[in-house]
Amino acid sequence: MFSGSLVAIVTPMSADGAVDFAAWDRLLSWHLEQGTSGIVVGGTTGESATLADTELVELARRACECVDGRAAVLVGAGSSSTAGTVERVGRLCALPIDGLLLVTPAYNRPTQDGLYQHFAAAAAAAAGKAVVLYNVPSRTAVDLLPPTAARLSRLPGIVGLKEAVPQAARVRELIAACAPGFAILSGDDATAREAIIAGARGVISVTANVVPAAMSKMVAAALRGDPQAAQLDEPLRGLHRDLFLEANPIPVKWLLEQMGRIGPGVRLPLTRLSAVHHEAVRAAARAAGVGGLRGISTEMARGVY
């Protein structure tokens, strides 16, 4: 179910930080047109840390309605509290989503056994919905190690892992250790192609927010073992790099605004992209074939930068 190029989609917001549901619907339709395999709602790129549960549920509900089975819908349900995660899982499972994305608990730094028990409790509450784990040590300060992932892969309902440790060796270790059929998805655009060569089934991508068709084409080629995948990936490498010049999703939301696809909103404590990075991000977008960028940013036009 979960393979190919899945987008870790941004949450569009107006200048005052309110969720822009009209822009959300347009983004979803665009991704379907461009061949995106799956929509990940309320992940890191979707500013999960600042979304209210009511907003997350509405975003997920509208995604299911718009996508209507044409792509997978995964919804971020993880938190640093096991009880809070279980509660959110129950709420989201009332929707016709395809699965839940559960990140390792941030800040409290549980042991490997604590991680196992946390995810086991959430999966038990998932009411038959598929669960994809998410390991991103650079953000959470805890690493879900392959032996723990292997234990979890054998629990009912836990079907995959988004692995953001950017090492092909980690992907190979996970595939060897986990249950047959357990899906490994790259969580790092810059090394996604190498991860797929190592056995990952696809990527949950930030870059796909900007160039969904190009990412879909590159990932499909890599999954086929087509050597052309490297050529398809080369023009995207600037985006893979420069969309992280400041904390994700600051650069990607700014670029999507420049493309005219979303408004300027980003929620504190995140702020808009610093002017010093504007030209680098624009240049990376142009190199990837993105046209129609605004020539000057709103801040620069007003002298507020």
Catalytically active residues, by annotation: 134, 162
87-96 contacts at long range (C-beta below 8 A, 24 or more positions apart): 88/53, 88/56, 89/122, 89/125, 89/126, 89/129, 90/125, 90/127, 91/53, 91/57, 92/56, 92/57, 92/60, 92/129, 93/125, 93/126, 93/127, 93/128, 93/129, 95/57, 95/60, 95/61, 95/64, 96/64
By the 10 Å C-beta count (0-12 exposed, 13-18 middle, 19+ buried), 49 is classed as middle
Q: Please name which of 305, 304, 206 lies closest in space to residue 251, comparing C-alpha atoms.
A: 206
Distance CA 165, CA 263 (A): 32
Chain centroid offset of residue 144 CA: 18
